[in-house]
A = this chain, B = another copy of it.
């Protein structure tokens, strides 16, 4: 067990289970998308381990601004699969009333913020949240995840500079999966991502995001730094996008040279191998973990599919705290009462 550092068997097994659940969920959703049951999906396949590591190190009071490709992170932080399906199916139980595309969650109860599509635009929000935390003497730091493509956005620049100038407790974690849709990271930027903090006086570190132990070790340093109030920190987690960018994407168009099964990078296989080698678990366990995940996910989707869509008239709610005459007039239009 020494090789796995201070981790207990329980922690490792939980991490593994959640990674497997996330992977299984990804595949289930992709399937459901093909069948027209779910509209869209951005799979986390290949990026599970860095997400799990963040989930393991983040405390309850820490606020996470996740991005659209963080399934494993939600699971590790305890979000039930039922809630994930409610959002993906955009049913009447969805906290967001079926307003957002799949993968755009707002799991406030689990101390997540809200996911949007415009890449990078949550980064400045996370800085504001950190300001508020310090101002209100709240416990906890702010963690924000994003892709390699996001480092090119104006929001990234604004956010890192602000976090640094105001010395805020924000941990920036870039999940560098090598691609922004079809654009490889080396055409996104000529610099190493973890060095981009230099432009703001923010320290940075690169970790192997496909390795749980390496991710935890690297992240721990970053968490400690930020938690001690020293200011923001930038982690680049090098990882691997096994699948397409999304269910709308066809990577064969741009990824021909590189089609592999990704197994040498697959973070789940790597953890499996490690666990087996260390004798934490045996092959039986692995098989049953996968079977359990599949059973849970199949059952949950079946169950959540029966929940009806949100009431149509709700599309006029929540534009404002109270609808103006405009929304009310338009609501009557839909009712046919106008």
Q: How many residues of A contact B (CB 8 A)?
A: 20
User: Once the chains are docked, how many angstroms separate the CA of A195 from the CA of B200?
Assistant: 9
Query: Counting CB contacts under 8 A, is A3 at the interface?
Result: no
Query: Counting CB contacts under 8 A, is A201 at the interface?
Result: yes
Q: Distance (Å) between the CB of A183 and the closest chain B CB?
A: 10
Chain A 187-209 interface mask (CB, 8 Å, partner B; 1/0): 11111000111111100000000
Q: Report yes or no: A158 in contact with B154, Cβ–Cβ below 8 A.
A: yes
Query: Counting CB contacts under 8 A, is A290 at the interface?
Result: no
User: Once the chains are docked, how many angstroms separate the CA of A189 from the CA of B187?
Assistant: 27
Q: Distance (Å) between the CB of A48 and the closest chain B CB?
A: 28
A128-180 interface (Cβ within 8 A of B): 152, 154, 156-158, 161, 164-165
A-B complex: 5 closest residue pairs judged by Cβ atoms: A154-B154, A190-B201, A157-B157, A199-B199, A198-B198
User: Once the chains are docked, how many angstroms separate the CA of A201 from the CA of B151?
Assistant: 14
A161 in complex: contacting residue of B152, B158, B201, CB < 8 Å: B152
A199 in complex: contacting residue of B154, B158, B188, B191, CB < 8 Å: B191
A165 in complex: contacting residue of B189, B198, B199, B200, CB < 8 Å: B189
User: Once the chains are docked, how many angstroms separate the CA of A158 from the CA of B188?
Assistant: 11
Q: Distance (Å) between the CB of A156 and the closest chain B CB?
A: 7
Q: Report yes or no: B201 in contact with A191, Cβ–Cβ below 8 A.
A: yes
A190-237 interface (Cβ within 8 A of B): 190-191, 195-201
Which of A's residues lie within 8 Å of B, judged by CB?
152, 154, 156-158, 161, 164-165, 187-191, 195-201
User: Once the chains are docked, how many angstroms separate the CA of A161 from the CA of B154?
Assistant: 11
User: Once the chains are docked, how many angstroms separate the CA of A190 from the CA of B161?
Assistant: 8
Chain B residues with CB below 8 A from A190, complex form: 164-165, 200-201
Q: Report yes or no: A198 in contact with B200, Cβ–Cβ below 8 A.
A: no
Q: Taking CB as reference atom, which chain B residue is nearest A157?
A: B157
User: Once the chains are docked, how many angstroms separate the CA of A291 from the CA of B72?
Assistant: 75
Q: Distance (Å) between the CB of A101 and the closest chain B CB?
A: 26
Chain B residues with CB below 8 A from A187, complex form: 165
What are 27 A-B contacts with C-beta separation under 8 Å? A152-B158, A152-B161, A154-B154, A154-B157, A154-B158, A156-B157, A157-B157, A161-B189, A164-B189, A164-B191, A165-B187, A165-B189, A165-B190, A189-B201, A190-B200, A190-B201, A191-B198, A191-B200, A191-B201, A195-B198, A195-B199, A196-B198, A196-B199, A197-B199, A198-B198, A198-B199, A199-B199
Q: A154-B154, A164-B189, A165-B188 are in contact. List 5 more A-B contacts (CB 8 A).
A: A152-B161, A164-B190, A195-B198, A195-B199, A196-B199
User: Once the chains are docked, how many angstroms separate the CA of A188 from the CA of B189?
Assistant: 24
Q: Distance (Å) between the CB of A131 and the closest chain B CB?
A: 15
Chain B residues with CB below 8 A from A200, complex form: 189-191
